Amino acid sequence: MKNLISGGCMCGAVHYEYSGNPLYSIICQCTQCQKITGAGSAPAICVANDNFTIKGKLTYFEQAADDGNIVSNGFCPTCGNPILKKTTAFEDHVYIHVGSLDDPSQFEPEFVVFSSSGQSWDTVDAKINRVE
Per-residue pLDDT at 51: 92
DSSP 65-82: -TTS-EEEEEE-TTT--E
Residue that wins the pLDDT comparison between 29 and 129: 29
pLDDT average, residue stretch 19-45: 93
Per-residue pLDDT at 68: 86
pLDDT average, residue stretch 21-41: 92
- The pLDDT tens digits of the residues spanning 45-96 come to 999 999 999 999 999 999 998 778 999 999 999 999 999 999 999 999 999 9
- The pLDDT tens digits of the residues spanning 90-117 come to 999 999 999 999 999 989 999 999 888 8
- Amino acid at site 37: T
Q: Taking the domains of the chain in order of start, what are their residue ranges?
A: 4-131
Per-residue pLDDT at 132: 73
Q: Which fold has domain 4-131?
A: glutathione-dependent formaldehyde- activating enzyme (gfa) (3.90.1590)
C-alpha separations of 21 from 40, 45, 50, 100 in Å: 27, 10, 12, 17
Q: 26 and 113 in contact (C-beta within 8 Å)?
A: yes
Q: 87 and 30 in contact (C-beta within 8 Å)?
A: no
Residue that wins the pLDDT comparison between 75 and 31: 75
Per-residue pLDDT at 1: 59
User: What SS3 class is residue 102?
Assistant: coil
- The model's confidence at residue 2, banded by pLDDT at 50, 70 and 90, is low
Residue that wins the pLDDT comparison between 118 and 67: 118
